[in-house]
Structure formats: structure tokens, C-alpha cells
Structure 1
Amino acid sequence: MAERIVLAGGGSAGHVNPMLATAAELRRRRPDTELVLLGTADGLEAELVPAAGFELTVIEKVPLPRRPSADVLRFPRRWRAATATARKVVAGAAAVVGFGGYVATPAYLAGRALGVPIVVHEQNARPGLANRLGARWAAAVGITFEGTPLPKARLVGLPLRPAIAQLVRDRAVDPEARARAGAEACGLDPDRTTVLVTGGSLGAARLNATVPRLASALVEAGAQVLHLTGKGKSSAVLDLLEAAQPPVREHYHVREYLTEMEQALACADLVVSRAGAGMVSELAALGVPAVYVPLPVGNGEQRLNARPVVSAGGGLLVADHELTPDWLRAHLLPLVSDADQRAQMGADAARAGITDAAARLTDLVLDVSRSR
């Protein structure tokens, strides 16, 4: 009978992409192992898991009610359904690998109850509730950023999406050719310095309102800008560019999103972005210098995510409220004009980056499963 490993992660791309990268590495090394991917019917995993060639086992999404509502009454039934599904797939497994979020908690509880070894992977520098719980019982804990406060933590990095892992390999062979190909795929001039601005799929209001105000200065300094505004948020940026001269508008490219993000990263000489774990990890692995503008809400994990690469010299960190046209003029424009400084920052970023995180995490999983 084939060994079975359960991977649980869902909701956000930050949970799903590392799960898929790890599943792919497990399948490559152990093709006879049965892999069960646990997720919800309405999260990103419902689309991404089948697209990656895996079957999704659906589990009830059961967020803990935070205020009196009808969800309080529905919670016990939904929780029982979720835990029953988790126990069914975890029973007899060689290991449970959790990536955080709603899906991971029932899987961790099932693993603990059934004596199945648990491996936790935490993407952020400040861990979430589910992984703090799972780490209490885990046989192994992999973290993305040094200093993440979990027991038994071992630095493994963030397993990279296949397209980014391939880009890392391509850049190692011929970075100039790959950059030109990326620029052409994005409709950009391969001979101009490329500044990529992105706030993620939801966009970032501060980036959208601030960076276009320097459009003329950036273009005059020899740059072109690819600004990804987030879905439904391009009009505010286009309004700011309306008064710009035609040569400026020609080199300031506005899109709401880009499906093949790896093409933009292939040709980016400098990035201005939020500091989500995925973006920080991918830019560091690729050796791309960046200006990180952490999300100003939440528990402050984005600032902590960026801290290692910034401390290594691979990027700049600026608070959301401090990102002004004057700040960009003083800090971003000099980088656009100084290829040597960008190259040094890129090298420093690469030294802080981890390109083999999927292999490292898979090592933990297989070590745990062999110890049974």
C-alpha cells in the first residue's frame, strides 16, 4: 500500500502556492506516494490545485465567529463536518503538512488525535493562529524568515511557484536574454530601465496615488514604469497621468493585473511593492532590488517580512504614510540612475534569498515520515 501524505492549505495564494510547490517536489521525489491536498471549495485552491494537476479534497471552511451572529449557531455543525473530513484523510497517513489558515487547524487536530506526525510551514515572520497551535504538536516546523517565533523552527524559506523557480534557473544561465524576453512579453522597451510597481491583486492605494506623480521624472531619468494597479483601480492612476506629455505616457504602462507575473519580474530592474511573504521571497530569490512599502494594517508582519532582505542591503523599507513624492525623489530616482548601486542591491538581495525552499521543506517532511 502506497504511503500517503496530507497537505493542508487554502484561502490565500500565500498558503496555496507553497503547498503546491511542496506537493510538486514530493511527487518528483516520491512518485508512488499518494498526496492528498486539503482545501475549501471557495478559496483559490479550488482553481489552483486542479490546474497544477492535483486532486482537491474539500473541507468545510470554518472561521471562528468573532461576534454574535447566525454563524455562532452554525459553527458546531460545520466544525464537526470539517474535523470528520480531516480525520478521514489523515488516518493512516505518514505525515500531515500544514501551511496555515482555516484548513490547517482541523488537519493539525486530526494529526494529533491519530498520532500522525505534523509538519508546519509558516510563511510570515509573525505566525498566524493556526500555525501557532499546530507548532505546539509538530514534529518539525519550517519558517520562511529567520526569527519567526515558533518552537522547533528551522529556516527553509518559501517554496517558490514553478514559474518563479524556472525563472531563477533561467536567470542563472542568461539573465540578459531572459530580461529581454520578459520585456517583449510585457510590451516594454528592453533597452530602458524597468521599474515595476505593484500592490498585489488588490492593489495599494498609496502606491497608486504617489508613484504616478513622479512619472515625468522617472521617464526623464531613462526609466519605463510597469504599474499594476489592482483590479478595478486603474482609473485613479490614469487620471494622474492625463496631464503628462505623450513621451511620458508612452513609457508609463498601466495595467490592472498581469497573469504571467514572472515576465514582469524577469525584466524588472527595480520594484516598488508591498511586503507580502511571497513577493519578498520571490524578489530575494531572483536578486531583484526593491522598495518595500508594508501594508499599514494587520499585525505588522509585512514590515517583519522585509526586514531580513533590507538588513542585508537588498532593499529599502518605507512606511506607508511616509511614501511621498519627495521620498521617492530622494530615494527612488537615484537608484534609477545608478546601475552599479542596483546591481549591488540585487546581489545583496540574492544572498538573503532562498531558492531551494521546496526541497528543504520536503526534506523535513520525508525525515518525519521515515521516522514512523
Structure 2
Amino acid sequence: MSGDGEAGPAVFALVTGGGTGGHVYPALALADELVGRGHPVPTIRFVGARRGLEARVVPEAGFAIDLLPGRGLQRRFTLANLAALWENLQAFVRSRRIVRRARPRVVVGVGGYASLPCLVAARLRRVPAVVHEQNAAPGLANRLAVRMGARAAISLPGTPLRDSILTGNPIRPEIAAVRRAPSTPPLVAVVGGSLGAGRLNEAAIGLYERWRDRDDVAVHHVSGARNYDQCAGALAAVREPGDRLAYELVPYEDHMDGLYARTTLALCRAGAVTVAELAAAGVPSILVPLPGAPGDHQTRNASSMVDAGAAVLLPDDECDGARVEAVASELIADRGRLDAMEKAARTLARPDAAARLADLVEEVAGAR
């Protein structure tokens, strides 16, 4: 991590945005692709939010990052909004300084609170920009950036951004390389994304209560770090001597490639990265879109999988232990349907998404 884009090697791409894995991991996949094309690691720099996942995972991946203040605004007047406005103003000032000092050939926005200040700074300094939209419903930062002249790359057909190019959603190379070998007994993976999902966590504990006597199925439950203690307490409260279910609870999964390889059926939210990874790995799934997501983008993300026959959609208000047990049990018992879902998921995969996005970034930067 460094301060305000301090002097160093000439920067090729300044990648800005983040907050959650849905923004961060496609950005890292793009960065890895650019490095693989001969752009040295120090010439790919990131700008993110202090509170975002990128503050940890980008340095761990070997890239430099500048962290900005800032947070989202609530939809009513609050004192927290006044603090947020001040932090966002500071982020704009710092972003102008970062872009001025880094002098990148291109700025790439991936969405999230930290992306818009740098995209505005790029416009003011006439630096060309690209934005990548992961979801079917574009975020505010990307919509504004396109109006300011940024080129748009989209992950799903029909995403309403002007003159966009369909690239798909870049995924980590290790996910694209997954070779499926589902476990015996069948494994149900419950994964709520990088931040976890309370509704899915509650459903998973409810599933334990219903499957406690079974040894012909297993569960791997990724709760999210902030929810782990609560889930561990709830699980301890329902466990009884003599329970036979193999149930593993973890706060975070560092090796999603291995989990996808051995999973028979996944229970997940329908974030953009999750949907892209499920498709690439060919994992049959039950998708529970997050209610209230901007533009209801998770329902739209899930629809692509459901329409192809790769997933079952379960509304959030129906997602409890009893309903999950009924749907999961029916699917696990139908090997033919699971095989068909796996094949259908793979038809939606775009394993070359990182390469397609890198092509656009190099074109806009004048490097091709």
C-alpha cells in the first residue's frame, strides 16, 4: 500500500473500485491477465475503499493499492450522511491527486464507492476510461462514467449501458480450471458471498436440524466472518449427542476452486461473481437473490441460470430450513437432473472474459 499514487514506474492501468468480492475478484482477474500479457506488476495499480475487501486481498495478490475514505449514503437525512459526504469529498480530492501523479494510460472502473472519484478525475485529466459492469442492472458509478465518455464492458447480454461490449465476468484462473469430482456422500455447499448472508445462515442451521440423522449427505457452510460467532453458537445449541450429519462450518473459504470441485449442489446468493463462477465450474445451484439489491440485479442475474436449466430460484422469503431441505433433497435424489444442470451451467460460462476485457482495456489505452 502507498500514499496518493506516489512516484514509481509508469502506470499502464489504474484499476479503481471494490467493496465486495463481486467487484474485487473480477478486477484481480483482469490485473492477472494484463500481467500475463507483459505489463509489469508495478504498472498495474489499484484504488479502493478503506472499508472494502480490496484493502486486504489486493496487497495479498501482490498489487499496490491506494485506499480512499468514503461510504454509501442512506436514503434519508442523518448525521451519518453528513460524515459520509465529507469523506466522499475527501475521496474526490485524493483521487485527483492520485491520477495526476500516476499518469495512467487508462483508468478501469469496476464499480463500488471508490470507483466514481477516480473516473471523474480521469475525465478531468482526459485519461481514457473503461468500466466493467458485473450485474444485469448497472450501478450508479458505471452509468455516470459512460455518460462521461467511458467505454463499457458488460457481463450479461442486455445490460443497458450505451455502446457496451459483451465480455463476460472475469473469474480467477483457478476457478476456470476446476475439474468437477463431486464428493461421496453428496455435498451441499452453503455460501453467502464474501460478506455472508444472514438468511442463508439461518436456513443452513435449520437444514442441520432436519438432516442431523443422515450420513448419506454432507454440508459445508461458509457463514462469512462477521456472522461466524453467531452461527457457531446457533449450531452448538441445536447439536445433540448421536448426530450423524457431517457438517463443517467455516467463516470464509480461501479455496473456492476445491469447494466447487467437490460440491454436488450449492445454495448461494445470486451476485455476479457467484453466478459467473458457478457457470464456469458447472455447479448445480439453488439461488436466493438478495431482496432490495439495486435494480433487483440479483434476480436478473439468477434468471440467466434458471432459464438455462442450471439453477432453481428460491425467493428470499421462502428460504428457510424446511424449504431448502425439500428442494435440496429432491435435487440430490435426481442424478440425471444434476448432470443436466451441470451441463447447462457450463453453456453460460465465459472462460475468456478476462482476455476479452483486457483486449478492450489495451485498445482504449492505445496499446493494441
- TM-score w.r.t. the length of structure 1 is 0.84
Q: Which structure has greater helix proportion?
A: 1
- Residue correspondences, number: 351
2:253 matched to 1:255?
no
1:223 alignment counterpart: 217
2:267 alignment counterpart: 272
2:12 alignment counterpart: 4
Q: Which runs of 5+ in 1 are unaligned?
A: 180-189
1:360 alignment counterpart: 356
Give how far 1:3 is off: 6.3
Give how far 1:26 is off: 0.7
CA contact (8 A) 2:71 2:84 kept: no
Give the percent of matched residue pairs that are identical in Structure 1 and Structure 2.
Answer: 36
Q: How does 1:63-212 map to 2 (within 5 A)?
A: 63=72, 67=77, 69=79, 70-71=82-83, 74=86, 78-79=90-91, 81-89=93-101, 91=103, 93-161=104-172, 165-171=173-179, 175-176=180-181, 190-212=183-205
Give how far 1:326 is off: 4.8
CA contact (8 A) 1:208 1:236 kept: no
In structure 2, do the counterparts of structure 1 residues 59 and 322 end up closer, same or farther at CA, with 3 Å as the change threshold?
Answer: closer
Structure 1 Cα separation of the partners of residues 222 and 144 of structure 2: 36
Structure 1 Cα separation of the partners of residues 204 and 78 of structure 2: 42
In structure 2, do the counterparts of structure 1 residues 138 and 313 end up closer, same or farther at CA, with 3 Å as the change threshold?
Answer: farther
Give how far 1:110 is off: 1.9
1:349 to 345, 351, 357: 345
2:4 alignment counterpart: none
Q: Residue 193 of structure 2 aligns to a residue in which SS?
A: coil
For residues 276-314 of structure 1, the C-alpha deviation after alignment (integer angstroms, 9 at most, x for no partner) is 112111111111010001112333221111111111110
1:235 alignment counterpart: 232
Give how far 1:118 is off: 1.1
2:3 alignment counterpart: none
Q: Residue 232 of structure 1 aligns to a residue in which SS?
A: helix
In structure 2, do the counterparts of structure 1 residues 267 and 80 end up closer, same or farther at CA, with 3 Å as the change threshold?
Answer: closer
Give how far 1:228 is off: 2.2
Q: How does 1:19-34 map to 2 (within 5 A)?
A: 19-32=27-40, 34=43
Q: How does 1:46-57 map to 2 (within 5 A)?
A: 46-57=55-66
Q: Residue 196 of structure 1 aligns to a residue in which SS?
A: strand
Segment of structure 1 superposing worse, 32-41 or 333-342: 32-41
Q: Residue 233 of structure 1 aligns to a residue in which SS?
A: helix
Q: Which runs of 5+ in 2 are unaligned?
A: 1-8
1:58 alignment counterpart: 67
Segment of structure 1 superposing worse, 212-221 or 263-272: 212-221
The one-letter code matched in structure 1 to 2:113 is: Y
In structure 2, do the counterparts of structure 1 residues 293 and 223 end up closer, same or farther at CA, with 3 Å as the change threshold?
Answer: same
Structure 2 Cα separation of the partners of residues 341 and 209 of structure 1: 27
In structure 2, do the counterparts of structure 1 residues 207 and 194 end up closer, same or farther at CA, with 3 Å as the change threshold?
Answer: same
* Root mean square deviation, CA, Å: 2.8
1:186 alignment counterpart: none
- TM-score w.r.t. the length of structure 2 is 0.85
